[in-house]
Structure 1
Amino acid sequence: MSKLTTEARDGGLSFSLSFQPLESADRKTPTGEPVDVGPYEVSADGQFTAELPTIVVPGNANPISGNELEATITLTGALCAPADFVCGEVTGTATRPIALDLEGSTFAMERITDPSSYPAPVINCDRDPARPLP
């Protein structure tokens, strides 16, 4: 779960993120520590690059292995108009549970207007669906 906040700055726009890992079992229950990052500058056409600090995600938020994850990542993407969808590419490295180059990974964030009715999760700018829960 994440919250994106925009702010007018120096004749332009910036954003900050606050995000909270969610348990993989239901993709709704918060787990672990929330992370606050930013602000990051946004260009006139909505593009941005956000170099995040090293992040640790608890194992119960990892649907693949259930192991704790640690990664240092950069998000390169766009705030799409209207600002209900943010997506792009991920670069960086995961160091736990295994060392892994994240080049070629993608991300997507979509505004949730009704917390009792989540939209189907998507994984990239093409809005490809995330895998169903097991």
Structure 2
Amino acid sequence: MPEPGVVDGEFFFNLSAYISPRTPIVFVADLTTEASDGGLSFSMTFQPLESADRRTPTGPKVDVGPYALSEDGTFTAELPTIVVPGNANPISGSELEATITLSGTLCAPADFVCGDVTGTVARPISLNLKGSTFAMERITDPSSYPASVINCKKDPARPL
């Protein structure tokens, strides 16, 4: 388990829906940790990025958390309903409304965090997200984001 603040920073976050796994919805996520109830919790701020370049911020930021980490670093983060602008949705190009849960592991040095996504999409179509994944990699150079990967095996996203 990392110490509070040690793994904090910006991450390139890819959410890969099982219906089109190599075309992730991409965000910059700002991760912060803090001591809580004798353990550690984390919060994130998500900024959607345009699907055309996976770099340009679009729409409002979304704050989520805090979520508790277990002693082995595993977590389940039930996010509130999130609306993603159409220009950040590479699958349909339509505004997306979803309620998702992220399940993964966050351990020091936490330069790469990944796991499973469950939940539902309400718009533009009704869809169960079971079988979807996420992967987030630390941004070490804000002028050059890491390559988009879609899962814990670091399978690459479809190139732009």
Q: CA RMSD in A?
A: 0.9
Equivalent position of 1:15 in the other structure: 42
Equivalent position of 2:25 in the other structure: none
Residue of 128, 148, 158 corresponding to 1:121: 148
Compute the displacement of 1:81 (Å): 3.2
* Aligned-partner SS, 1:2: strand
Unaligned 5+ runs, structure 1: none
Equivalent position of 2:103 in the other structure: 76
Compute the displacement of 1:80 (Å): 3.8
Compute the displacement of 1:33 (Å): 0.8
Structure 1 segments (4+ residues) deviating >6 Å: none
* Aligned-partner SS, 1:6: strand
Q: How many residues align?
A: 133
Equivalent position of 1:45 in the other structure: 72
TM value normalised by structure 2:
0.81
Q: Which has the higher contact order (CA 8 A, sep 6+)?
A: 2
Unaligned 5+ runs, structure 2: 1-27
* Aligned-partner SS, 1:60: helix
Compute the displacement of 1:70 (Å): 0.6
Residue of 80, 90, 93 corresponding to 1:63: 90
Percent identity over the alignment is 81
TM value normalised by structure 1:
0.96
Compute the displacement of 1:124 (Å): 0.9
